[in-house]
Amino acid sequence: MNNRSTLGKVAIVCTAVLITGLILGGIGYALGGVRDFDKVSEKHSWIKGSPGDKVVTDETVEDFSSIEVTGDADVFAVTEKYYKNPSWLEDMKLLSSTELSSAGENKVVIVKGEKVADPEVSCENGVLRINAKENDHTGLSLNFSARDWTPAILICCPEKKLESVNINVDTGDLMFGGISCKECTIETDTGDIVMKDIKSQGQTIKSDTGDVSITGTLEGTSQIELDTGDFLYKTPAALADLTLDLKTDTGDIILSEDGNVSIELDDTEQSFKQSGGKDALTIDVDTGDIVIVCKAK
C-alpha cells in the first residue's frame, strides 16, 4: 500500500510539473520569449505552433448570383452597408484602418495566418465557390494569440437578390449582413451563426454546436435543427402570420410581440405548434432555448 501511495503521489507531482511547464512555456512563447516552438512543431505533428503573421489578400471576381463555401473558415457574407463600415470591419477583427481598401463590390477578402493554407476561390457561370481547406485541429496547441488556424473570408456581395447561398463548414463562425436570397442552406459542426437584415424565401440550417441569431424576414418554409445552442429570431412579421412547429428537449420556448411575452414554456421538454400563417418555421433543438420576437399585428 505504501509503495502504491508513493507512486501515486509521484505521478501527481510529475503531471503538475509538466502542465505548469507547458503553461509557462506557452505564455513565454506568446510574449515573444520562446520562438523555437515553431521549429519543434515542424518536427512533431502533435505540437501546433503559431499560424504566423496576419496576411490579407483580396481578389475581384465576376458578378455572382450564388455562393458556395466549404471547409474550415469564419465566413462573412455582407453587402456594402457592412463592408464599407470601418467600425464593423475592425470590430470583427477583419480589416484595420490601413487595410480598408481591400473591401469592395464583388471582392473576396481573406484574412489568415501566413502558414494557413490559402482557400481556393473560383467564379463560373454566376456561382462563387470557395473551398477553405480543412485544417488539423488535433494536437497540443502552444499558440495563445488571438489568431488561430481558421481563416476569415469576407465576401462583398452585390446589392441584389441572390439565387442561393450554400455554406457547409466544419469549424467556423458565420455572419450574413444585408443579404437577400431565394434559397439559403447552412450546415456547420462548430460555430455561431448570425444573420442581420436577412430576407430569404427558403431556409435550411443544421448546426451541431453553436447559437443561431436571425434578424429579418424568413419567407416560405424554414427548417432549423440544432443539437446544442440557442435559437433567436427577431422579425417584423406578426406572430399570427407564422406557422410554427417548435420543439426543444432541454430548454425554454418564448414567443413575444412588441416586447410582451405571449407564450412561455419552461419545463424540461417543450413543444409548440401554430397553424394558419403564410410563412412556416420548423425548429428542432436538442439542448437550448427557442425565442421568437415579433411585431404586434
Q: Can you give the residue ranges of every domain in the chain?
A: 211-297
26-47 residue pLDDT tens:
555 454 444 444 444 444 444 4
**Which has the minimum average pLDDT: 89-103, 153-167, 215-229?**
89-103
240-259 residue pLDDT tens:
999 999 999 999 999 999 88
The better pLDDT of the pair 117, 142 is held by 117
Please determine, for residue 50, whether its predicted confidence score (pLDDT) is greater than 60: yes
Say how many C-beta atoms besides its own lie within 10 A of residue 13's C-beta.
10
C-alpha cell at 261: 411575452
Give dist(CA 233, CA 48) in Å, integer.
Answer: 38
Q: Once rounded to an integer, what is the mean pLDDT over residues 196-215?
A: 96
pLDDT recorded at residue 36: 47
pLDDT-above-90 percentage for the chain: 68
CA 236, 84, 128, 57 dihedral sign is negative
**Which has the minimum average pLDDT: 13-17, 66-70, 88-92?**
13-17
118-154 residue pLDDT tens:
999 999 999 999 999 865 545 444 444 434 778 999 9
What DSSP character marks residue 97?
T
pLDDT recorded at residue 54: 87
Supply φ then ψ for residue 11, to 5 degrees.
-65, -40
Please determine, for residue 58, whether its predicted confidence score (pLDDT) is greater than 50: yes
Q: What is the largest CA-CA distance in the chain?
A: 76
Mean pLDDT, the chain, whole residue set: 85
pLDDT recorded at residue 27: 53
pLDDT recorded at residue 7: 55
CA 107, 113, 115, 119 dihedral sign is negative
Bridge partner residues of 21 (DSSP): none
pLDDT recorded at residue 277: 93
Bridge partner residues of 297 (DSSP): none
Please determine, for residue 69, whether its predicted confidence score (pLDDT) is greater than 60: yes
pLDDT-above-70 percentage for the chain: 77
Please determine, for residue 262, whether its predicted confidence score (pLDDT) is greater than 50: yes
**Quick one: which of 178, 172, 134 has its CA closest to 156?**
178
